[in-house]
Amino acid sequence: MPSKQTTHNGLASTRQAPGRSGLCAPEPHPPGPAASLAYAGRITALRAALAAREADGAVITSAPNVRYFSGFTGSNGALLVSAGQVTLFTDPRYTLQAGRETAAKVVIAKGPLESAIAAQLASFHKVAFENTRISFRSMAALQKARVDWCALDDTCEALRMVKSDAEQEAIRASVLLNSAALDEALTHFRAGMTETDLAAEIEYRMRRRGAEKPAFETIVAFGERSALPHAHPGPARISGRGLLLIDMGAFLGGYASDMTRMAHLGKVPTATRQLYDAVSEAQLAALDRVKAGVTTASVDAAARKVLTARGYGKAFVHSTGHGLGLEIHEMPRIGKQDKTRLEAGMVITIEPGAYLEGFGGVRIEDTVLVTASGCEILTPTSKKLLVL
Ligand code: ZN
Ligand code: ZN
């Protein structure tokens, strides 16, 4: 799934509204010793970042970061991290689940979590908060506490960029499930079905294979509509001739996968073949550039150079890729302006595309693991233009 061509970390598009139903909560699981150790290591890294800011506490309010630092997967949770303690605040719906999922001290709040946290900050001096994620209302509740507040900016997200072995395994499994779901869904493809039909078929196959949910709204776009990078599947019938773009991802074990593949209905016209070959060459050039130590901007430049040389420079309207993990869009961004240096253990997508109004678009996307010597392409699905 492509992200914007900006320097912003793009998390806004995937931010989750604080859910209230709680009916979709996954099955609770007790944290094993290895998991507890992983959370302890993450908290140690966060405390080091707090020490650098001379902060004696942090309030973590976003669901992905609460999960990353504690294991808690409920829709309503917040962490207070101090030098000596980690406390999870949640509501009575999650009493049982919190006890099973996290080794943190659990406080069951009756009202807004931020108010409960503010009431416990009397002995703190300087507390860090998630300025890129928290709502104005939640911040106002926290500010009832008389402490100095300092911004975490992207601190938590930067800590999440390099994936542990266990996280890499979770992403591998998610990627394999995603590819298997596509293979299976395509065996049920029939010319004349709608974009929505095919998207539903894909998501059904994901779920049947054990995915918690799609990692984002599956994109199925046919014909001229494939020129919309973030098309919503609609009632348009997939019939006649034209490009078919499928961008899909699953959440498995909390971790995302992300892949875009192209098919063509009927004989492939020369102009379409040229477009496909150009994007394919750009994707390979970017993959070739991926290696620990190189900047993400240089990976983006490798793809952009090919597409510009082939006359599609202006048609490449997004960045070349993004990190993924507990969220579909994570740091680092693989864009024009991004100076992050890749490190072994980062998991990113490589997904250049070119979109021509009135004609169609092509995007090819793999999920890859950055290594010391290059990258490992995790996505097993063939990148040949599939002719249906
Ligand atoms: Zn994608
Ligand atoms: Zn993507």
- Res 249: pLDDT: 98
pLDDT at 28: 46
Q: What is the whole-number distance in angstroms between the Cα of residue 167 and the centre of ligand 1?
A: 19
Residue 41's SS3 state is: helix
CATH code 3.40.350.10 region(s) in the chain = 33-159
Reported as a single tens digit per residue, the pLDDT across 20-79 is 333 444 444 556 667 778 899 999 999 999 999 999 999 999 999 999 999 999 999 999
Task: Take residue 381 and report the two structure tokens written for it.
Answer: 């699905």
Closest C-alpha among 354, 352, 348 to residue 290: 348
Residue 352 · residue 333 · CB < 8 Å: no
Query: Which regions of the chain carry the CATH code 3.90.230.10?
Result: 165-387
C-beta pairs of 226-230 under 8 Å, 24+ apart in sequence:
226/262, 226/355, 226/360, 226/361, 226/362, 227/355, 227/356, 227/357, 227/358, 227/359, 227/360, 227/361, 228/355, 228/361, 229/2, 229/317, 229/318, 229/353, 229/355, 229/361, 229/363, 230/1, 230/2
Q: Which CATH architecture has domain 165-387?
A: Alpha-Beta Complex (3.90)
Structure confidence at residue 300 (pLDDT):
98
As given in the structure block, the two tokens for residue 181 are: 């779901």
* Helical segments of the chain, H only: 33-52, 63-70, 95-101, 113-118, 136-142, 155-159, 165-186, 195-208, 270-289, 296-309
For ligand 1, the distance from its centroid to the CA atom of residue 204, given in whole angstroms, is: 18
Q: Cα torsion at 60, 64, 65, 69 (round to 10°)? A: 120
Q: Compute the distance from residue 138 Cα to the ligand 2 centre, in Å.
A: 30
* pLDDT tens-digit series, residues 154-168: 999 999 999 999 999
Q: How far is the CA of 206 from the centre of ligand 2 (A)?
A: 17
Ligand number nearest to the C-alpha of 231: 1
Q: Which regions of the chain are under pLDDT 50?
A: 7-28
Q: Vertex 230, ends 225 and 234: CA angle to 5°?
A: 50
- Cα(29) to ligand 2 centroid in Å equals 29
- Count Cβ atoms within 10 A of the Cβ of residue 184 and give its class: 0-12 exposed, 13-18 middle, 19 or more buried: middle
Query: Ligand 1 centre from 55 Cα, in Å?
Result: 38
| CATH, domain 33-159, list 3.20.20.70, 3.40.350.10, 3.40.50.970, 3.40.50.2000 | 3.40.350.10
Backbone angles phi, psi at 290, to 5 degrees: -70, 125
